[in-house]
Amino acid sequence: MTDDAKSAWNTTGEQLTALGAKLGAHFENQRGTDGEQARAQTDEAIKRLGNAIQDAFDAVGAAAKDETVRQDVKQVGRSLVTALDVTFQEISEEVRKAFDRKSADSPETDEKKPKAE
């Protein structure tokens, strides 16, 4: 894998890990406060989050009807496919090279060795 591909995937992984840690910390802080009030606030936050998600899906549905948005989505999709394709091609090449090295390093079996006359 090239350094650019490694860097992109490492950055994404680090960001997801950091986000998970932050969300976990907020959850623990919320849970640790006064019981009933905390539950009520958590329930309200979940309800707001659900409403926000619904609004986001509604907006996506409306945007999908906009031809320029559809073209942008197609372009982003193509870019994502290209990036993943290049990454997987590099991985495939590295795996192939590793197997070729392994095959070259392994001793030949008696059946494969030429017989001495």
Residues of the chain with confidence (pLDDT) below 50: none
pLDDT at residue number 116: 56
Instruction: Take residue 88 and report the two structure tokens written for it.
Output: 């997987």
pLDDT at residue number 34: 57
Taking the C-alpha atoms of residue 84 and residue 79, their distance in angstroms, rounded to an integer, is 9
pLDDT at residue number 14: 84
pTM of the predicted protein model: 0.36
CA angle (114 as vertex; 113, 117 as ends), nearest 5: 135
pLDDT at residue number 112: 54
